[in-house]
Structure 1
Amino acid sequence: MQWKNLFTPVANLSVAEARAFMDQRSTGDYELLDVRQPNEYQQTHIPGSRLIPLGELPARLGELDRRKPVIAYCAVGGRSKAAAQYLAGQGFSEVYNLAGGIKVWDGGKVGGALEAGLELLPVEAEFGDALQLAFAMEEGSQHFYQHLEAAAATDELRHLFNRLAGFEERHKARLASLFKEKEGRELDAALAAATVGIMEGGGRLADQVAALPGGPDQITAVLDFAMALETQAYDLYGRLVLHSKNESAKSLFIGLMDEERTHLGFLSRELEGLLSRR
């Protein structure tokens, strides 16, 4: 790393500014860059971020798209400022540093290794394979919400879970239609049935039901849990974007990330409304 690059001025973004910046754009229109070490990333990271440790950045510049804005973050802002200055010195035209780092980030966070869940899709997989995986995960999530609907103790909960299951049903219909359009045949429903235990985020349906906090009749706990699942799904789709070599598959997963972000917004509003009524 060239020392002169460390004196290149870059803009800092507060958490609120960074969130507004990302909310105004599709997920595929910017790079969220984590420059910490892999063990730090595994403990917790911002969903959808790309991991390139600061020490590896010079050798891995080719992984970043110079045409896209880059928001770099680390633990408290020091390493990411150095990374942002280096990128600016290398000709990246729009680079920002997340001031305060992940320590001050008050949005969603997830844990887990970079490779977690990527075994579900081989790196050389074709677009049709990616579509079938996405369909299977939507199917698993729909079954999860239907399970909660059946166990719900109140009409309010049943209505909420029915609506969430409906989101997944519409996604499945769109994915099945897209599969037929692109592949010229019907999506393999038998394959989806065989993998129905996989949920968005790569988790297993039985495990997620068993881990549900407070029982399905406690709406606050369930909403919080659902937001965690959708956040994990957003993060997995983001890592599949980086993992896949098929450009159509990448575009598919970027679109799914945007949809997960919409789901998170809905759940956040539902939770806020619930808390305001108490």
Structure 2
Amino acid sequence: MGARSRAAAQILSGQGFKSVNNFKGGIKAWKGHSVRGSEKMGMTLLKGNERPAEIIGLAYALEEALRQFYTSSAAATDDPDVSALLNQLADIETNHKDRLFNLYRSIEDTPVDKETFEAQSDSHVMEGGFTVDDFNAQNRSGLQTTEEVLSLAMMVEAQAMDLYLRYADRRVDLEAKKILCQIADEEKAHLHSLGSMLEQKI
């Protein structure tokens, strides 16, 4: 109803953002455009009884699917700047995968090698809970400028962070909760980096 968004607006204003608006009455008062997708999107990926290593395996697969999206999008554009940025984002996802694999190795008593781990981490869903086909259909055409690419990337990371935090809220076992919060923190750090990149571009 606008209370939480007012707090968010105050935080943004305090951080130096000059044009911050809070919608009076919140989303309940909104009569304009509506967002696409269900608030439960991605919430079926984990049942709640997975071991921490399985959670990391899923996160790894989601990162890989997003990396593939960026790579294929880079190959499909004629703009060299946009292509370079998409390839840079794909490399960042590779770095995320490496960190997840290292996290997996640090908690698993008998870790498998990276090739086996990757083979077990297959997913048709990408980071944030988007299905690969739907995401391609809805977003491939909106990658014409560096600003559009970075805005899309920030949306994905924000959705991913929110998804992991919602999963963490549902878990009672502390180890799994800790892993989910740790992955969410990674997404938060990535979101911050993307925001910095966007500020530099515009």
Residue of structure 1 equivalent to 2:82: 157
- 1:126-275 matches, within 5 Å, as 126-184=51-109, 185-186=111-112, 188-192=117-121, 194-195=122-123, 197-212=124-139, 214-274=141-201
Change in CA separation of 1:141 and 1:246 when aligned onto 2, cut-off 3 Å? farther
Instruction: Kindly state the Cα deviation for residue 270 of structure 1 after the two structures are TM-superposed.
Output: 3.1
- 1:62-77 matches, within 5 Å, as none
Kindly report the root-mean-square deviation, in angstroms, between the aligned alpha carbons of the 2 structures.
3.0
Change in CA separation of 1:152 and 1:246 when aligned onto 2, cut-off 3 Å? farther
Change in CA separation of 1:20 and 1:220 when aligned onto 2, cut-off 3 Å? closer
Instruction: Kindly state the Cα deviation for residue 123 of structure 1 after the two structures are TM-superposed.
Output: 1.1
Helix, strand or coil: the match of 1:118?
A: coil
- For residues 50-69 of structure 1, the C-alpha deviation after alignment (integer angstroms, 9 at most, x for no partner) is xxxxxxxxxxxxxxxxxxxx
TM-score by length of 1: 0.56
Unaligned 5+ segments in structure 2 are 1-5, 16-22, 29-34
Quick one: distance in 2 between partners of 1:208 and 1:118? 17
Quick one: distance in 1 between partners of 2:85 and 2:196? 12
TM-score by length of 2: 0.75
If you compute each CA radius of gyration, which structure gives the higher value, 1 or 2? 1
Change in CA separation of 1:210 and 1:255 when aligned onto 2, cut-off 3 Å? same
Unaligned 5+ segments in structure 1 are 1-12, 24-74, 77-99, 104-108
Residue of structure 1 equivalent to 2:3: none
Q: Equivalent pairs: percent with the same residue?
A: 32
Change in CA separation of 1:125 and 1:20 when aligned onto 2, cut-off 3 Å? farther
User: How many pairs does the alignment contain?
Assistant: 182
Quick one: distance in 1 between partners of 2:196 and 2:27? 24
Quick one: distance in 1 between partners of 2:36 and 2:183? 18
Higher helix share: 2
Residue of structure 1 equivalent to 2:31: none
Higher strand share: 1
